[in-house]
Structure 1
């Protein structure tokens, strides 16, 4: 598994860890309050059942998050909204003024955590819930006064102001990260190379293949029925599906292979290796994507087309880019053969017209059809075209 995939996993786990930390702090605070109240023989003016129930709920949520390690947007949104409602109810039911202040303060923190997980209306509804929760808590103050009203209004404004500031900072950080990714030749959504990044790195790969007497091979991967995913689940889920597919592909290739977001839902791989190796690699890629099963995401499959040719003895960066482009065109044609044959399968294109097809003919797992430039990988279970 490449270092980039581990970086993505760590980032996702960190976001879930913030939720777990918030729940754990709530559990620890409630347990401390109960311990002090019991040690002083009821010295605190609290409703013990409310504190005990809050503590138990926080412990359960903490355990759930630690077990899952990663939660999707919907699940995080449900947990945060329930947490805001529970915090408001706890502040209303507790007669202690200090507890009410604590509840109102926690309500300002919950939407800030929501910025990490929610977008659009999910974040708006969570912020509104927290902003309304604080005045509800302070409405229980006795006696009511002008100070109570001013405090309630101020605490209602705090969540919206804090979330607005954090959101603006997060947007600036995302914009800076996207600009850095573009400058580095990376696709800002998936973290894969973009076309510019491929152009700067394909030359050394082709020359290394030539020195080793190897072939240059490409794989073009296309997510099956991706438009249906966007139409059914929305473009945000579609983006997450692309990220999941990119992570699965990264985890199945070597560190020196070049994985590129070629366009839309198409991802390309440029690697050193013979036709037999690239078709076996393509089958591993197909299986890796088929096995992806993440919470909140529909399961998808991919169709793959491959092509390979002996590396030229001498190739400039421009020549290597042209060679890769020709291979990608042939692999793309093989990809559409895979789609026409039923999708979720691999097709291999024969060697380029000016290159010998020795690699395909030497490998027993690849069937070369001289009259047809498309080669079938038997591991997919698809019959050769007539």
Structure 2
């Protein structure tokens, strides 16, 4: 769950950055298109002004008609600060708005010097300046050269564009809390910026980021600003037909802010659900473990005698069937011994049931000690016990029965009253070869018969059938 969530969140982060890059690229394209279109319109007006100014007859027309010929198209320019014809000395020869400007020479402006020095400049886009004709307002000028009939310099046609045009264009762009958008000349001179900082207008941007923009026509990259250290995604494009560069730079933090909020929510929910899932899994695991333990305990209780700790009759039946089948496959013998405590009822009557239980437990311990590890000792019922002897022939069964009998007889601390002998047991054994046929129950019945024979013969002895014909061997 965590891996899938992290992969999804990482993909979401990349998608957010890609989407922001696409949006910034689209904004740059729109800004560039608007600038290019308006510069193209202004250039058409300039060409018309140059064509009219270079015609000698234009200057012979009445002033109203002359101005209409020179400035007809220029009147439609957006944020137009003024349209002028400057003479070869840089003074206003004629202006569109018919205002009487002071005799100020503008021959020191970069746009005038560039046109004066070269007849091949064409359209010139000036650096920003504070106008001497319009109360120091920030402007840029688009100019074209006016020639005499012999090709010599005769002045320039000027369209002054207020910088408010660029600022109003950028004001419609959403930059986010820490983003920025700006328009600059190719050399880095800033024309407009959002957020607006007046003292930055006209300054030249000097940074590695802008150096990259100068060497590429368009593109997108992420970098930290040298001014404020904010990491931004810069999308830029050169405006066709102009020296302008349009740049949209949203802050990476602003771009990723919605993604971070979603990631925090999703991550928290994933952590919570994962924790609950793990906790529930552990609870289920512990519950299942406890259930298995209880089931195992119930199985043990179902197959175990509570008093002696020995297996019970149910366990004997299961073990006998399994060993019988194994002996039948291997061709080996299998034996069973039945053991009964002699005169146990009388012992109970003399000492009580509590002492009788102690005797039963003690006898169970003697039988277990005398048996082999592979033998199965069970409490068959009451004071009767049974021992399953796998891989044991008649002689082995008799020997095992005798060991058990002697072990019980040695418990002198349970002697009866009035000089009665110690606790003793009678043992009846039977042996079969399952490979010759028969059933496990027949073996139990045969051993039980030998037990009754041992009791009838005087108790405290071991008896075993010699053959299936019913003759016996008696050990005392």
TM-score by length of 2: 0.35
User: Which of the pair is proportionally richer in strand?
Assistant: 2
TM-score by length of 1: 0.42
Between 1 and 2, higher relative CO (CA 8 Å, sep ≥ 6) is seen in 1
